Amino acid sequence: MRKFIRTSRLSYIFAAYFIAILCFFIFRVLNVMVFCFSTEDQDVHLDWQLFKAFVLGWRFDTVVSAYILALPLIFVAVGDIANIKNKVYYRVIHIFVCLCFSVSFFLCAADIPYFNYFFTRLNVMALTWIDSLNFVVNMIVQEPSYFVYLFLFLIFTVAYDWIMSKIYRKTLLSERTVVSFTPTVIVSIVLVFLCFLGMRGRLALKSPIRVGTAYFSNNPFLNQIGLNPVFTFIKSVEEKNKEKNKKVSLIDLNTARRIVAGELSTPIDETKSSVHLAEGTNVVLIIMESMSADKVGYFNEKSDLTPCLDGIIRQSLSYDNAYTAGIHTYNGVYSTLFSHPAILSQHSMNKVLIPTMDGLPNVLKDKGYQTLYFTTHDEQFDNIAGFLYANRVERIISQKDYPVSQVKSTLGVPDHVMYEKAIKVLNSLSADKPFFACLMSSSDHGPYVLPEDIDFKPHSNGIKNQIVEYADWAIGRFIEDARKTDWFNKTVFVFVADHGYAKPGSKYEMPLSYHHTPMLFFSPSQIKPESVESFALQIDLGPTLLSMLFEDYQNNTLGIDLQREKRPYAYFSADDKIGVLSENYFYVYHTNGMENLYRLTDDNANNCMEEQKHLADEMRDYAFSMIQYSQYMLEQKQKRKSSNTGSIE
């Protein structure tokens, strides 16, 4: 093997990779040093977790290097196998490698002052002032410290090119004995496969490496230092250019601000009775995969699939006319935890610049709560882990925390396994501090896997009905197990679906079954059973819960306190459509401009836009304003995050 490496031109690729990794490592060390030395009046604690950040950094550096070296690897392998001796052929490969890594080093050098100033890794926002290039150049020229980073770039580029040129002459250009054909082919295939793995950055099939992979702690500095600025810059450009992530322009911002201000400044009914939970009440929030109200017997007398959930609802404060924000799990997690609506097809959590929200984990962490999130599968999917770690979730329990033998599909472990784990983890928490635990189930999502090694037997036909029965059984079992704990009577259990499902034969192009959800607050010792018929949204769950917990809660979201406020309409998104419900009508807007207004009592879906145009306009403007203003609020959060260095703890 040693002889093969010495005689094969593939050794050039090995050298290019290892030297580049060393350069990226040095840039990362310099970034840490510059940031630490320039941080004033802040405590910078760098413990063993810095090592973990650097290990993650090596993974991101490998991804960047693998993308750069993929084509050179293939061409060098072909050259080795075919014994190509043309010098121009190899010179083009060498120039390509040096040029790509030189650009990478430029981005790394530019990232040091960028990170030190904005406390975020280099991204597409650096191009914000590209139309004022003359001003930017003058600003850089007039700041002497920037020349240090330019000098760094030149040193790294010249050094890398000089070293690689020597290796280039010794490997790609040298006369060598003909390498055995079969070993060369085998090694080339193995290296191409390893390069592909390097490009993915992870072995897990469910998701490649994402920005959120670097978020492993509650320390924002350590979370970001593992990232490679080339990776974040390219990913942010890619994200910005995706059609689904482009900004929405539904309504004039001033109009949106006026309508939102009018809605959120509605006088609160202080005379209405409301729930006040005891100080230090624990919170267990269960987001139920695809649990449409249509599947639940409490809402649909034709369904007998959910006896456990039906019983819990009857003992709870239940909002019977509640609707989810979107049709994807990431919509459900985001809108439930952070009280912002879904913005059409935009992915609310898979972002390079992760905004700091004012949601449940943020507020509860500030109030002294321990914050946890449980999922059955890969926490990196949809960038959920990164988003949650950046927003005050301390600990995430996911597929990595379960025995491999319990993982049944790409969705990880069955629901009951997650619930069992949750009981054990919550029992182990410190009793001195209350906890907030969000549990995201997944069994009611394909591929459907019905566990066979449990004390549960479905009575219905068809796997989709049986899996609903199982999901309900798992919830009931979890509540019974929780009743046996010391913390049960000091806990409020909150239930909501991430979204529903498209019921076959839906009357409308936006199936209401996809959005109508159970939403309930269950605490036998503190909350009396009650059913509320007024509109409720998934985004209202957080403010309502926090108002129950804290009298001084200040709501900075687009949700409302359902105990004392009412919504005139319910609204929600489904990628390319927006739906708005009044008591008697259903308005649907398509992004291609088509609009429909349906009377809910009609047997058929007849468009009555013409006869009720004023109502349709009012419903549309209400939803458009909420969604448009949500986008504005998120932009402001990202700008504040980019302009604040934050504290390092």
| Position 642 pLDDT exceeds 80 | no
pLDDT classification of 179: cutoffs 50, 70, 90: low
Distances in Å between the alpha carbon of 200 and those of 55, 190, 233? 16, 16, 17
* Single-letter amino acid, residue 331: N
Which residues, 6 or more positions from 615, have their beta carbon under 8 angstroms from its beta carbon? Answer: 582, 585, 597
DSSP 506-540: -SSSS-GGGTEE-EEEE-TTT---EEEEEEEEGGG
Which residues, 6 or more positions from 4, have their beta carbon under 8 angstroms from its beta carbon? Answer: 179, 183, 184, 187
Predicted local distance difference test score (pLDDT) of residue 108:
95
* Single-letter amino acid, residue 31: N
Domains of the chain: 2-241 (no CATH), 285-568 (3.40.720.10)
Q: Which residue has the tokens 């708005």?
A: 580
Mean pLDDT to the nearest integer, 346-373: 93
Tell me the pLDDT of the chain averaged across its residues: 89
Predicted local distance difference test score (pLDDT) of residue 633:
95
| Position 144 pLDDT exceeds 80 | no
* Single-letter amino acid, residue 493: F
- Could you tell me if 256 and 625 are in contact, meaning their C-beta atoms sit under 8 angstroms apart? yes
**Cα angle, residue 34 at apex, residues 102 and 642 outer, rounded to 5°:** 85
Where is pLDDT greater, at 147 or 427?
A: 427
**What size, in residues, is the chain?**
649
Mean pLDDT to the nearest integer, 221-247: 84
Task: Quote the CA–CA distance of 364 and 283 in Å, as a whole number.
Answer: 10
Numbered residues of the known binding site for Mn(2+): 289, 329, 498-499
Q: Which residue has the tokens 């909420």?
A: 626
pLDDT classification of 133: cutoffs 50, 70, 90: low
- Residue 14, class by beta-carbon neighbours within 10 Å (0-12 exposed, 13-18 middle, 19+ buried)? middle
Q: What is the pLDDT of residues 429-438, one digit of tens each?
A: 998 999 999 9
Helix H or strand E segment including 638: helix 613-643
* Maximum alpha-carbon separation in the chain: 92
Q: Kindly name the residue from 232, 281, 329, 336 that is annotated as catalytic.
A: 329
pLDDT classification of 160: cutoffs 50, 70, 90: very high
Q: Tell how many helices (H) and how many strands (E) occur in the chain.
A: 18, 13
- Residue 209: CB atoms within 10 Å: 20
Q: What is the pLDDT of residues 197-231, one digit of tens each?
A: 999 988 877 788 988 888 887 677 888 899 999 99
Q: Which of 116-120, 182-186, 315-319, 551-555 has the lowest mean pLDDT?
A: 116-120
Where is pLDDT greater, at 382 or 547?
A: 547
Cis peptide before 447 (omega within 30 of 0): yes
Supply the pTM of this predicted model: 0.80
329 is catalytic: yes
| Position 271 pLDDT exceeds 60 | no
Q: Which residue has the tokens 């099939």?
A: 205
Q: What is the pLDDT of residues 36-76, one digit of tens each?
A: 886 644 445 567 789 999 999 999 999 999 999 999 999 99
CA dihedral of 496, 497, 502, 504, whole degrees rounded to 10:
-70
Numbered residues of the known binding site for substrate: 445
Burial annotation 246-271 (CB, 10 A radius, 16+ → b, else e): eebebbeeeebeebbeebeeeeeeee
Residue 497 β-bridge partners: 288
| Position 295 pLDDT exceeds 50 | yes
| Position 646 pLDDT exceeds 50 | no
C-alpha dihedral sign at 590, 596, 597, 603: negative
Q: Which of 34, 29, 19 has the alpha carbon at shortest distance from 51?
A: 29
- Could you tell me if 542 and 359 are in contact, meaning their C-beta atoms sit under 8 angstroms apart? yes
Where is pLDDT greater, at 190 or 137?
A: 190
| Position 120 pLDDT exceeds 80 | no
Task: Quote the CA–CA distance of 333 and 387 in Å, as a whole number.
Answer: 11
Calculate what percentage of the chain has a pLDDT beyond 90: 68
Alpha helices in 529-612 (DSSP H): 541-549
| Beta-sheet strand order (sheet of 577-581) | 570-573, 577-581, 585-590, 595-599
Task: Quote the CA–CA distance of 355 and 227 in Å, as a whole number.
Answer: 17
- Could you tell me if 344 and 575 are in contact, meaning their C-beta atoms sit under 8 angstroms apart? yes
Q: What is the pLDDT of residues 549-568, one digit of tens each?
A: 999 999 999 999 999 999 99
Where is pLDDT greater, at 609 or 37?
A: 609
Give the up-direction half-sphere exposure of residue 140: CA atoms within 13 A in the CB hemisphere.
15
Which residues, 6 or more positions from 627, have their beta carbon under 8 angstroms from its beta carbon? Answer: 248, 250, 341, 343, 344, 571, 573, 578
Predicted local distance difference test score (pLDDT) of residue 43:
47
Tokens coding 25: 């490592």
Task: Quote the CA–CA distance of 20 and 15 in Å, as a whole number.
Answer: 8
Predicted local distance difference test score (pLDDT) of residue 521:
99
- Residue 89, class by beta-carbon neighbours within 10 Å (0-12 exposed, 13-18 middle, 19+ buried)? middle
| Position 111 pLDDT exceeds 50 | yes
Q: Which residue has the tokens 């819990």?
A: 312
| Position 470 pLDDT exceeds 90 | yes
DSSP 203-221: S-SS----GGGG--SS-HH
Task: Quote the CA–CA distance of 3 and 540 in Å, as a whole number.
Answer: 67
**Report for 40-44, 114-118, 631-635: range of highest mean pLDDT:** 631-635
Mean pLDDT to the nearest integer, 572-576: 90
Helix (H, G, I), strand (E, B) or coil at 371: strand
Calculate what percentage of the chain has a pLDDT beyond 70: 90
Mean pLDDT to the nearest integer, 534-560: 97
Numbered residues of the known binding site: 289, 329, 445, 498-499
DSSP 145-158: HHHHHHHHHHHHHH
Name the DSSP letter for residue 353: S
Q: What is the 3-state secondary structure (H, E, C) of 560-586?
A: CCCCCCCCCCEEEECCCEEEEECCCEE
